[in-house]
Amino acid sequence: MSGGFFGIPSDLQNTYWGLVGLHLREALIPVVAGLVVALPIAQLCVRLRWLYPPVLWVTTILYAVPSLAFFVVLIDYTGQTETTVMIPLGIYSLVVFVPAIVDGVRSVPQETLDAATAMGLGPVRRYFQVQLPIAAPAIIAGLRVATVSSISLVSVGMLIGNQGGLGNLLNDGMIYHQPRLVWLSVVGTAVLAILADALLVLVRVLVTPWMPRGTRKPRPVDEPEPMQAALEDAVR
């Protein structure tokens, strides 16, 4: 074991900051992949309302499958690799993303959609330029939940070798009776989750400038409503 507070056992074949990088990579790639997959699925559920209940049912069932069971199935195909950890995390994120996107898109007022259509926007442009921007708060809320959950679940990867990021320290801390390693794992994971959540809050503030911030100031009579302003910005 190397010296210093951040020294870790040599059997992990990595440094503390290397494990932090591994942890973030294994947590964030599945979230991004899950979001990309969820966008078209959610749009189908919005257009075909009968499809939403079975999709929600399937994603909920998959979320209920323990990650260890996923590992057992996947390990014959992907081995003891990062991919084996990331695939279940990406699947788990769907149960958060699909409802968040569907509810956010459905919350767009029909008057706004009619106005977008009257301005010449087709279904695809209306979805990307009007519906998704207005649904951004709900989508980012789902993104926050999925990201924090993924960061916490990466540690389970320690069950298939040194693929658990900071979770490897938790495992070695118990093996070598080193409370320091346990604290490095637990506190490090919590800090990563808090920082990621704070960054997404900042992103929400930046991408939804039309939302009220704290105490609202009286709006001049000639100032457009936030929803109208958002629509006009999207059309531009």
Q: Please count the residues of the chain.
A: 236
Local structure of 144: helix, strand or coil = helix
In 3D space, the residue among 137, 149, 43, 51 whose CA is nearest the CA of residue 96 turns out to be: 149
* pTM of structure: 0.80
What pLDDT score does 13 carry? 73
Confidence band for 227, pLDDT divided at 50, 70 and 90: very low
Average pLDDT over residues 205-234: 55
- Tokens 């207005």 correspond to 134
pLDDT tens track for 145-195: 999 999 999 988 888 876 788 888 888 888 878 888 889 889 999 999 999
Distances (CA, A) of 148 to 24, 56, 93, 205, 235: 11, 21, 10, 19, 33
Q: What average pLDDT does this structure show over 81-109?
A: 89
Could you tell me what percent of the chain has a pLDDT over 70?
84
Tally of helices (H runs) and strands (E runs) in the chain: 11, 0
As to burial, measured by CB atoms within 10 angstroms (0-12 exposed, 13-18 middle, 19+ buried), residue 82 is middle
